Amino acid sequence: MKITNEKVLVIGSTGEIGTSLIQYLDKKGYETIGTSRKSNHQKNIKQFDLNDKEYSFDFKKFDVCIVLGSVAKILRCEESPEETRKINVTNTIRLIKKCLEENTYVIFLSTNCVFSGEKGFYKVSDKVCPMNNYGKFKAEVEDFLFQYPKNTVCVLRITKVISESTPLIREWKLKLDKNQDIFAFSDKYISPITLQQVNDAIHRIIRNKRMKLCHLGGKEEVSYLSLAKTYFSSHKNSKRNIKQILFEPKKGNNSRIHSSLETFLPREPLE
């Protein structure tokens, strides 16, 4: 059933979240266009790179722009800080400015990495304290967005999405299929969420358009080790091949690095 005729631009629609989101929004009746750096022949995917000097979009045509496109790898942001800051901060802000000039509502996907992870279940009122470049870059864009009125922008911080297309899950599965060991941290915790939860949250935000900062996190924190054991519980090699390692060996098994958020979302109905 069509419930909207809003036009939505999804920047970075070919990744883990974008691929699922664009199908979801289509089903909800939004008119969606996605982007990828690669030129392909899919009708609703346009070629776009945050490094482009000029934009080929007429942003006026879109009611909403969802900014997913970024370098989403923590390690790459540490190894190439200048190159990744240009994409994740400078060029992202340039794109967002353009959207706002054309009155296009902006939703920016951020992360629990804007917090240090010293404690669990951060609230929207907690002060950010990023420990890596990936988190620092997200916090810089957030700061820029917070200058704008709440009916023009929304930052959605989410915890780790776990799905069959999550790179770590795919890598683990390949290894287990080949009867190889996988090593999972027992002292590093995540708070997994599903793609469905992310899609529903974004749909609620679009319908609401009155909250500047939202959080979506899982109900509980689990270690990577326990995630691996649960996710692959029915895999024939799981008992033999899932091995425990420590993220912070010097601190021993009693330390915990948290990665959770207290969920804070609009309560708009989904239909």
Report the interface residues with ligand NAP, using CB under 6 A: 12-18, 36-38, 48-51, 68-72, 87, 109, 111, 158, 160-161
Specify the residue, 15 or 266, whose C-beta has the smaller distance to ligand NAP: 15
Query: Helix or strand or coil: residue 107?
Result: strand
Residue 249 neighbours by CB under 8 Å, 6+ apart: none
Supply the minimum distance, in Å, between the C-beta of residue 11 and ligand NAP.
Answer: 6
Q: Residue 72 CB, nearest distance to ligand NAP (Å)?
A: 4
Least CB distance to ligand NAP at residue 271 (A):
25
**SS3 for 93?**
helix
Q: How far is the CB of 28 from ligand NAP (least distance, A)?
A: 19
Q: Distance between CA 207 and CA 3 in Å, rounded?
A: 10
**Please, which residue, 17 or 154, has the CB nearer to ligand NAP?**
17
C-alpha distance across the termini of the chain, in Å? 9
Cα–Cα distance measured from residue 58 to residue 99, given in angstroms and rounded to the nearest whole number: 9
Contact 21, 13 (CB under 8 A): yes
Which position has the token pair 């091949």?
241
Neighbours of 40 (CB within 10 A): 9
Residue 138 and residue 144 in contact, taking contact as beta carbons nearer than 8 Å: no
Question: At its nearest, how many Å lie between ligand NAP and the CB of residue 236?
Answer: 28
| Secondary structure percentages of the chain, helix, strand, coil, to 5 | 40, 20, 40
Whichever of 95 and 241 has its CB closer to ligand NAP, that residue is: 95
CB nearer to ligand NAP: pick between 202 and 211: 202
Shortest Cβ distance from residue 190 to ligand NAP (Å)?
Answer: 9
Q: Which residue is closest to ligand NAP by CB? A: 15
Considering beta carbons, is residue 49 or 181 the nearer one to ligand NAP?
A: 49
**Burial of 32 (C-beta count, 10 Å sphere; 0-12/13-18/19+):** buried
Pick 46 or 209: Cβ nearer ligand NAP: 46
